[in-house]
Amino acid sequence: MLKKAGIVAALIAIAAWGLYQFAGLRVTLDGSGIWPRFVSREPDYDLLDADRARQRELPLPTPAVSADSPQPRVTPAPGTEPAHVEHKEATTPPDRPTVEGTGARGRGYWPDFRGPNRDGRYDETTIRTDWPKDGLPRLWKQPIGLGYGSFVVAGRRAFTIEQRRGQEVVAAYDVETGRELWTHGWDGEFAESMGGDGPRATPTYHDGRIYALGALGELRCLNAPDGELVWRRNILSDNDAPNLSWGMAAAPLIVDDKVIVLPGGPHGKSVVAYRRTDGEPVWKSLDDPQAYASPMLVTIGGVRQILIVSATRAAGLTSDQGTLLWEYPWVTDMGISVAQPLLLGNDRVFLSAGYGHGAAVFEVTRAADRFTTRTVWENTRMKNKFTSSVLYQGYIYGLDEAILACLDAATGELKWKGGRYGYGQVLLSGDHLVVLAEDGAVALVRATPERHDEVAKFSAIAGKTWNHPVIADGRLLVRNLREMAAFDIRPR
């Protein structure tokens, strides 16, 4: 019996190797961790090139203006004009903690990873909650290059980073039509057989410029209107830092006149601030090996600070010099921390990690100029693997590995667990969750501690989808390793 099992295992391994070598496919497990599936090693670049060549034959859309100015309506592609609806302003939830965003706000503005405050909330307008049975109205869908970065949106333009053959490419798209407006690329190709190839970090928009970080450490500042290079650095070679196993993934953070990045270099070069106007170093701090979570600008204990999660701890740093204010031990399997920290009020922080690790809430207390931390609760009820949780009215909603769950933020008590979405992503809008599942489906779920209540679900894009969704001015943008699409999520 054991001999037969060994022969079967060997045949499966040979078949997987053959698919990988000759068909461009590899075997991976879905979000359940049980069922195998075949995924392509690379996109169809010929299809991508043909699509962009077709777009170049079309007239350019009306130029977008600054995100801080009144936004004109851009004429969409034929047949995709959505019905006119009244713009409804959303209200900010009263329990929202103090998290600072990037720059001033405006219509159609999503300048940062997971939103203006990096907390996965969309509160620019209300969204549609009576979704049609066949899904939200689609504005467009088209091919895209490899990568796990999300979009940032400003001035009716969506910016992302993707792999196109041997280059990492920053691209600007018209939100209404999907029309590619400009690209800026450089030689570089990050390949990783388990997770997938391509850049990871979402670009950041600030004051008319894009700050993009490639998986190999290339940091570039570009003019948002035309993609022209302003300055460049390589944060790994600059700081004698080795790359992470799964590449640089932390989105650059703008703090005043600085851009904060996490190269993970030794000898005080783990967290680095460059001057955002010209790329000159401002300060360097800590010795931590880094992880995959992005830095955040927050206020804790009445002090404005940079919150990071490295491979060994969470920490707060002063924004002006990078001085360590406090730390909280957070050691995970292989140093893999991907989930963003979540502020619960202005003195408590929620952390989560996958691979069986679990979650914890700790409290930061300030006495004069000294900070201390203590654990409030910890358990294994919320294991964010490649995703991050959101907070609504005292409850935490997120993916416990591949299943959606709700926890009481004060106690860690599990309220419910249900709905298999794989290793997808979660956004909060009003009293609903927008869940982008690992298979490319989009679901609408009520944010209630009572039960898992899925209102609607439809297939948006095809293939493995680990990228974060975006909502800006009532447009839902999604992408993965092969496709990108936009949907009208404005209320009717």
Q: What is the pLDDT of residues 41-52, one digit of tens each?
A: 567 999 999 999
Between CA 221 and CA 202 the distance in angstroms is: 13
Average pLDDT, the chain: 88
**Is the pTM above the cut of 0.75?**
yes
Mean pLDDT over residues 158-179, rounded?
98
Which region among 81-90, 195-204, 215-224, 324-333 has the lowest average model confidence (pLDDT)?
81-90
**pLDDT (average), residues 426-436:** 98
Residue 364 near residue 344 (C-beta atoms within 8 A): no
pLDDT of 95: 58
Torsion angle of alpha carbons 233, 468, 119, 205, nearest 10°? 40
Strands (E), 248-357: 253-255, 258-261, 271-275, 281-285, 296-300, 303-309, 313-318, 324-329, 342-344, 348-353
pLDDT value of residue 83: 31
CA dihedral 408, 413, 415, 419 (to 10 degrees): 100
Does 19 score more than 50 pLDDT?
no
| 196 token code pair | 């997938």
Query: How much of the chain, in percent, has pLDDT values that exceed 70?
Result: 82
Q: How confident is the model at residue 82 (pLDDT cuts 50, 70, 90)?
A: very low
pLDDT of 22-37, one tens digit each? 445 555 555 445 556 5
Quick one: pLDDT band at residue 193, thresholds 50, 70, 90? confident
Q: How far apart are CA 401 and CA 33, in angstroms?
A: 9
Paired sense of beta strands 271-275 and 281-285, if any = antiparallel
Burial 333-367 (b: 16+ CB within 10 A, else e): eebbbbbbbbbbbebbbbbbbbeebbbbbbbbeee
* 92, 96, 98, 103 alpha-carbon torsion, rounded to 10°: -30
Model confidence at 99, in pLDDT bands (50, 70, 90)? low
Average confidence (pLDDT) over 333-356: 95
Q: Is the confidence at residue 79, as pLDDT, over 60?
A: no
Q: Where is average pLDDT lowest: 229-233, 312-316, 343-347, 390-394?
A: 343-347
